[in-house]
Structure formats: structure tokens, C-alpha cells
């Protein structure tokens, strides 16, 4: 994320010196507190929708539906993007909304400055360097952003952008070793601990499912374990992320069209690393562990095969009927390791199933688990953060579809229907009874990587899971 400075001034809007101004037109009400040149509305036939740029006064008018957090977040992102190709470096605006709504606006402003240019020969530098908020508010409920609010938004935005950068990296760049080194750097800069279990350690841990997925890759696997443990920790939460740095489907080879974008199969693992970074830099009073299973799923003479029987770390045997259902195999061994840490809450994030995208669309994550109240609590937090999530129900009839005649469980269902839920139920079979009510599975296959710009997300990686989980953890801490 390129740096952008956001400040709160005690000066009035008119006296602040800036290259250009931003004024939101709320619900098509053209008579705003600061409409500098209302005549232009009539001249240009502006009705309060979309953009209107007053070149004489260097003022951008932008219509928004209301002062909700969702509207303000997207508006902040959109107006910063608008100035991308204009010769202005500083902007000024008044305050909009309550504290939580202003927090959303700040996130949008920071994220509007994001652009992934790693592989571009010509880099484009976003001209906006500073946004200044005047002392005026849109109405009496509007709050000026404090230094604490701005810092919080900046920390969260930086974590999201770092996650986006790594997810967007090409698979020859972002290998399991790359993820491990990134995690070590995050640990060093955020003052948290990090240890990496290599292939020998995974063998010692008896992670037969995880190791099987890795067999045909030239890149060795890594289990990354990050730990943030403040002195005043109120509880312990353990996060697990699927870190498939590339997934070709294995011997159950994906069609070529479906193989494209599989660099994004590491999104869950990257989100976990980003969440740990944000939690540590925010100084939240909770112990958080992050477990990432990093590997590739490739083809070769030593690849694991349909009909193989794998023995997981939990001791359960798994009949393989599809090698493209590999993420769940990595996750069950990581979840086993995570349960040894005695979490108060256990959450995994994974781009697990195309079925979840079919069911909920590209923009919504699926929430699964056995504890309905915990699912509702996470959903509420996610929606407040601006991430779209929906609860999917477990049921005992779908569970029967995973039965195997030759092993304890099959890695895919024997039906094409309900694939997101049966994948969640497969993971649930490896959750011990003591942790079933403490566990959530978040399928981020839809929003993690979308090949078109939407909401506050650019083409490609979104950083799905970061905002939702930080909101959830903050709620747990009473922050």
C-alpha cells in the first residue's frame, strides 16, 4: 500500500488549503452544508447520482445512498480512485457519520490507494498523498476522525494490502518457502513469534494427509505457526489457513480454464498471516495463534492418487476419491495441530469449494460449524466490517454422503449437491468433541479473488477474511 496521510484539522472547510475538495451528495439532497457552486448542478443537469467535477472550484461531488458504513466505505474507496489520473496531491472534506461510519470511510480512503504493480514494467504512482478532514460535520451526529481511529484504519488497511500483494504473486514466486519467509518477517516487525515445521517435522507429527498432497511438488511443504501473546490476554483464539500456493488438481487434473487463478488458493493462509499482523499492531488483549498449511498440489509419478488411503494426524483413515479435494486434507492435519493448543475459539479460513461460490455468489463467504450462536456472532461481526457472509447449515443426512466402505471417511461426497457443506462436514469429522462448539469454518472461495473490481476491492485478491476476523476478535475483546 502506497502511503497516504489522513489528518483531522481544527480549521473550517473553506480555510483549509488543499489541491481539491470532495463533497458527498447524500440521498440526492443537492442543498448540502458545503455546496460551493450549486449553479453547476443546474447547468450540468446533475441529479445527485455518480460523479460531477467542478473544474473551476476543483471540487468533486459524488452521490451516495446514505451515511451508512457500507456506503461511506465504498465512497471513500471510489473517490480516491477517481483522482488517480488527476494532477492533485491533497484533498479536503468534511466529516460524515458516527464513529463507526467514519471508521469505515477511513478504511475506504486508505484502500483506494492500492494498486498491484509488481510485474508491471511501468509503475503508476497514485498522486494523492494527503486527505484533510475539516472540523465541520455533515450533521450533528458526524464525528471527526481521531488519531486513534486513523491509526487503526491504517493498520487494518496495511494488513489487507499485504495479504493482497502475496495472494496476487505468481506461483513461481509465492512458494511455501516464500510464505514461510513472509511470516517470519511479519513476526519480526510485529513482535510476535514464528516457527516453521519443515517436511521432517511434518513426518514426525504424522501428518499423512498434508504430506500426501505435497508429494508431487518440487517445493517442500511448511506448517507456519505464528503466536501473539500479550501479557493481558483474555482468551486464546487459534486461526488455521489453507495455504495452497498452487493447485492444479493433482491427478484429478483441473480443466485449463479452472486452473487459471489457482495462485489464489493460498488466500486463507495469507489472510491468517495478515490477521496476526493486524492483531499484534493493534495491541488487542487476546492470545492469537495462526497456523498455515503451505504446499502445492501438483502431478507427477509420485503424486497421491484416487483410491489411496491416507492416515491423518488424528488417526482417522481417509479414502481419496478426488485429488482435487486437497485443501481439506491439508486443513485436517493443521486443525489437529491447532486443537493441541487448547483454543477457546478455533476458526479456519479456506478457499475450499467452488460449490460455495455457486451457492452464495462471488462476493459472499460461507460460515459453517456446529455452534449456531458462534456462527451468528461471527456473521454479525463480518457484516459490520463490510464483508459479506452467510451461514450454511450442517445436517446429519449430508454427513452420510462422506461414508467410505474401506476407510473411516471419504474425502468427497458421493453426491454433487451441497458440496460446500459436505466439505465443512468433512473438516468437522476431525474436530474433537471438546472443540466442536468452539470451531468455525469460513469458506472464502467466492470473495478471495475476483477478476473484476467490486465494492472496495480491485481486480484480483481482496484480502477476504481479514476485516471480518479483526472485527470478530475486537468484539471478543470488548474493543
Per-residue confidence (pLDDT) for residue 42, from 0 to 100: 87
pLDDT range class, residue 67, cuts 50, 70, 90: very high
What is the percent of the chain where pLDDT is above 70? Answer: 99
Strand partners, 311: 317
Rounded Cα gap, residues 71 and 69, in angstroms: 6
Per-residue confidence (pLDDT) for residue 227, from 0 to 100: 98
**pLDDT above 80: residue 147:** yes
Residue 175 vs residue 2, higher pLDDT: 175
Residue 169 backbone phi and psi in degrees, to 5: -60, 145
Give the active site residue among 328, 375, 438, 467: 328
Per-residue confidence (pLDDT) for residue 125, from 0 to 100: 80
133: nearest Cα among 89, 72, 92 = 92
Query: At a CB cut-off of 8 Å and minimum separation 6, what does 220 contact?
Result: 176, 177, 198, 199, 214
Which tens digits make up the pLDDT trace of 36-52?
A: 677 889 889 999 999 99
Per-residue confidence (pLDDT) for residue 35, from 0 to 100: 61
Per-residue confidence (pLDDT) for residue 148, from 0 to 100: 97
Give the active site residue among 65, 199, 254, 316: 254
pLDDT range class, residue 265, cuts 50, 70, 90: very high
264-276: average pLDDT: 98
Strand partners, 244: 295
200 catalytically annotated: no
Per-residue confidence (pLDDT) for residue 36, from 0 to 100: 66
Domains of the chain and CATH, by start:
5-138 (3.40.220.10), 154-477 (3.40.630.10)
Asked if 296 contacts 244 with a C-beta cutoff of 8 angstroms, the reply is: yes
**pLDDT above 90: residue 78:** yes
375-385: average pLDDT: 98
**Helix (H, G, I), strand (E, B), or coil: what is residue 365?**
strand
Asked if 96 contacts 142 with a C-beta cutoff of 8 angstroms, the reply is: yes
391 catalytically annotated: no
Lowest average pLDDT, out of 3-7, 30-34, 168-172, 362-366, goes to 30-34
Which tens digits make up the pLDDT trace of 464-475?
A: 999 999 999 999
372-380: average pLDDT: 98
99: nearest Cα among 32, 132, 38, 148 = 148
**pLDDT above 90: residue 124:** no
Stretch (H or E) spanning 162:
helix 147-168
264-288: average pLDDT: 98
Question: Considering the chain, what is the average pLDDT of its residues?
Answer: 96
Per-residue confidence (pLDDT) for residue 246, from 0 to 100: 98
**pLDDT above 80: residue 295:** yes
Lowest average pLDDT, out of 228-232, 239-243, 270-274, goes to 228-232
CB atoms inside a 10 Å sphere around CB 316: 16
Q: Are strands 317-319 and 409-410 parallel, antiparallel or unpaired?
A: parallel
Amino acid at each position: 500500500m502506497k502511503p497516504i496521510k489522513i489528518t483531522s484539522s481544527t480549521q473550517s472547510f473553506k480555510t483549509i488549503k488543499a489541491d481539491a475538495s470532495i463533497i458527498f451528495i447524500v440521498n440526492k439532497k443537492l442543498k448540502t452544508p458545503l455546496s460551493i457552486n450549486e449553479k453547476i448542478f443546474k447547468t450540468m443537469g446533475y441529479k445527485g447520482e455518480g460523479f460531477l467535477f467542478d473544474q473551476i472550484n476543483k471540487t468533486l461531488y459524488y452521490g451516495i445512498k446514505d451515511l451508512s458504513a457500507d456506503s461511506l466505505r465504498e465512497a471513500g474507496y471510489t473517490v480516491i480512485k477517481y483522482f488517480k489520473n488527476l494532477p492533485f496531491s491533497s484533498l479536503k472534506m468534511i466529516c460524515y457519520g458516527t464513529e463507526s461510519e467514519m471508521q469505515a470511510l477511513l478504511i475506504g480512503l486508505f484502500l483506494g490507494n492500492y494498486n498491484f504493480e509488481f510485474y508491471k514494467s511501468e509503475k503508476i504512482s497514485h498522486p494523492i498523498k494527503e486527505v484533510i478532514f475539516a472540523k465541520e460535520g455533515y450533521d450533528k451526529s458526524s464525528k471527526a476522525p481521531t488519531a486513534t481511529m486513523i491509526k487503526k484504519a491504517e493498520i487494518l488497511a496495511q494488513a489487507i494490502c499485504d495479504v493482497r500483494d502475496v495472494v496476487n504473486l505468481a506461483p513461481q514466486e509465492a512458494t511455501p518457502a516464500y510464505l514461510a519467509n513472509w511470516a517470519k518477517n511479519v513476526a519480526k516487525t510485529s513482535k510476535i513469534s514464528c516457527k516453521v515445521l519443515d517436511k521432517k517435522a511434518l513426518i514426525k507429527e504424522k501428518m499423512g494427509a498434508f504430506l500426501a498432497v505435497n508429494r508431487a511438488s518440487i517445493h517442500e511443504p511448511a506448517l507456519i505457526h505464528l503466536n501473539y501473546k500479550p501479557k493481558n490476554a483474555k482468551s486464546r483464539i487459534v486461526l488455521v489457513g489453507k495455504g495452497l500456493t498452487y493447485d492444479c488438481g493433482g491427478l484429478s487434473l483441473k480443466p485449463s480454464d479452472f486452473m487459471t487463478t489457482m495462485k489464489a488458493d493460498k488466500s486463507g493462509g495469507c489472510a491468517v498471516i495478515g490477521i496476526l499482523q493486524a492483531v499484534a499492531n493493534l495491541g488487542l488483549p487476546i492470545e492469537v495463534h495462526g497456523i498455515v498449511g503451505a504446499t502445492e498440489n501438483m502431478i507427477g509419478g509420485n503424486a497421491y492418487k484416487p483410491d489411496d488411503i491416507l492416515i491423518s494426524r488424528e488417526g482417522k483413515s481417509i479414502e481419496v476419491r478426488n485429488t482435487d479435494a486437497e485443501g481439506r486434507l491439508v486443513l485436517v492435519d493443521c486443525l489437529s495441530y491447532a486443537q493441541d493448543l487448547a483454543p477457546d475459539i478455533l476458526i479456519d479460513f479456506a478457499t475450499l469449494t467452488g460449490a460455495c461460490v455457486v451457492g452464495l455468489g462471488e462476493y459472499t463467504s460461507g460460515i459453517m460449524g456446529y455452534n449456531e450462536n458462534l456462527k451468528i456472532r461471527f456473521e454479525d461481526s463480518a457484516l459490520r466490517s463490510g464483508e459479506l457472509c452467510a451461514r450454511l447449515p450442517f445436517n446429519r443426512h449430508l454427513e452420510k454422503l462422506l461414508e467410505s466402505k474401506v476407510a473411516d471417511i471419504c474425502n468427497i461426497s458421493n453426491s454433487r449437491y451441497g458440496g460446500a457443506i459436505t466439505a465443512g462436514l468433512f473438516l468437522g469429522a476431525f474436530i474433537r468433541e471438546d472443540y466442536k462448539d468452539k470451531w468455525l469454518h469460513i469458506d472464502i472461495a467466492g470473495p478471495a479473488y475476483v477478476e473484476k473490481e467490486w465494492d472496495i476491492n480491485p481486480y484480483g485478491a481482496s484480502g477476504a477474511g481479514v476485516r471480518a476476523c479483526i472485527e470478530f476478535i475486537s468484539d471478543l475483546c470488548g474493543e
